[in-house]
């Protein structure tokens, strides 16, 4: 066996699983995927979609019909199956006076790829199911260490990398959520000041569904040598989604967004990035390219993209920032 193992290189294994016939996913074009909507009703208006989408994200009501209604229907099936399994286990264990813990959906992907838009649209669609479930949304931004700590440890330029997060606090939060505890708090984060808001929290009180969004939520970690239990974030997920796109497209979207923010949000004197609104357009473009190359691209290649194969569903975007292909993990 050792001799055979030595003959099969890692590239051979990767090449094997790149072939779609051996992939753990089933692939659908956006048009084919849209047909799975069936009779799922459209419960969002065009104006509501405009309010939910992020800057530079062109998603509209037609994209909701094409992609998100089918996804809502799929998630509904998963939530219902989870509830049925809970009831069966409850009878099996003869448990009384227990309630099911929240169904947790993780959403991962690069900066500027549209995670926040996806998370907000899904939150609204899921909350408008006929059963009217309680749906909450939390992002990992509130679990970043405060800027003062990042600066103290000289890792401010690695903000967004795994080491910039308070993993202990993040895991304690998700553990409490999955334990069904009431009033679990997550720190609030300001994109204006680019920092956590001291003393401000978002309280999550036993929702039916929790959407947990962040660039590194599918990140794995080294296993302990002594076999002790060390959970990772995705251990708490019931379903996970990765928002995907070609690297050069994400690069373009990041630069375009930065330049638009330079002429809008960055002009606020309270903005952490206000200084970028006061330089020339050429200087601002150079700064944006530097931030992409030295921080966001490195993080994408080293930490974010490698987690893509761990997702249950991959939404792949094309040049127009709209989804072109959906990959769903086989059962």
Take residue 44 and report the two structure tokens written for it. 């969002």
Question: Which of 243, 239, 43, 52 shows the shortest CA–CA distance to 126?
Answer: 43
**Cα 79 to Cα 87: distance, rounded to the nearest angstrom:** 12
Question: Which of 186, 191, 123 shows the shortest CA–CA distance to 160?
Answer: 191
313-317: strand order across its sheet: 25-29, 323-329, 313-317, 239-244, 103-109, 209-213, 135-139
pTM equals 0.93
The total of other beta-carbon atoms located within 10 Å of residue 177's CB is: 22
CA distances from 69 to 44, 262, 314 (A): 10, 34, 16
Let me know if domain 24-217+226-329 sits in CATH 3.40.50.300. yes
Helix, strand or coil for residue 74? helix
Take residue 35 and report the two structure tokens written for it. 């047909």
**Cα 115 to Cα 154: distance, rounded to the nearest angstrom:** 28
**Predicted pLDDT at 15:** 54
Q: What is the pLDDT tens value at each position of the chain, 331 positions in all?
A: 444 444 455 555 555 456 677 899 999 999 999 999 999 999 999 999 999 999 889 999 999 999 999 999 999 999 999 999 999 999 999 988 888 999 999 999 999 999 999 999 999 999 999 999 999 999 999 999 999 999 999 999 999 999 999 999 999 999 999 999 999 999 999 999 999 999 999 999 999 999 999 999 998 877 777 777 778 999 999 999 999 999 999 999 999 999 999 999 999 999 999 999 999 999 999 999 999 999 999 999 999 999 999 999 999 999 999 999 999 999 9
Helix, strand or coil for residue 132? coil
């Amino acid at each position: 066996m050792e001799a055979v193992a030595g003959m099969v290189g890692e590239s051979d294994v990767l090449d094997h699983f790149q072939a779609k016939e051996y992939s753990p996913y089933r692939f659908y074009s956006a048009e084919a995927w849209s047909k799975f909507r069936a009779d799922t009703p459209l419960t969002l208006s065009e104006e509501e979609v405009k309010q939910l989408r992020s800057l530079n994200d062109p998603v509209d009501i037609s994209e909701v019909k094409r992609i998100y209604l089918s996804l809502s229907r799929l998630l509904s099936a998963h939530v219902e199956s989870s509830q049925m399994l809970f009831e069966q286990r409850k009878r099996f264990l003869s448990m009384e006076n227990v309630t099911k813990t929240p169904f947790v959906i993780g959403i991962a992907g690069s900066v500027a790829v549209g995670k926040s838009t996806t998370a907000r649209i899904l939150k609204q669609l899921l909350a408008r199911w006929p059963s009217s479930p309680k749906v909450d949304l939390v992002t990992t931004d509130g679990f970043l260490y405060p800027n003062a700590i990042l600066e103290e440890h000289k890792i401010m330029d690695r903000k967004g990398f795994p080491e910039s997060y308070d993993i202990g606090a993040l895991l304690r939060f998700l553990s409490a959520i999955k334990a069904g505890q009431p009033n679990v708090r997550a720190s609030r984060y300001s994109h204006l000041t680019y920092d956590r808001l001291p003393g401000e929290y978002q309280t999550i009180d036993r929702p039916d569904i929790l959407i947990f969004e962040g660039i590194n939520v599918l990140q794995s970690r080294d296993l302990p040598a002594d076999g002790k239990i060390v959970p990772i974030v995705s251990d708490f997920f019931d379903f996970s989604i990765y928002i995907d796109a070609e690297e050069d497209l994400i690069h373009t979207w990041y630069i375009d967004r930065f330049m638009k923010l330079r002429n809008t949000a960055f002009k606020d004197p309270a903005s952490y990035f206000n200084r970028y609104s006061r330089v020339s357009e050429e200087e601002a473009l150079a700064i944006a390219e530097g931030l992409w190359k030295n921080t966001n691209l490195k993080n994408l290649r080293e930490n974010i993209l490698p987690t893509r194969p761990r997702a249950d569903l991959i939404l792949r975007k094309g040049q127009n920032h709209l989804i072109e292909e959906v990959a769903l993990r086989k059962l």
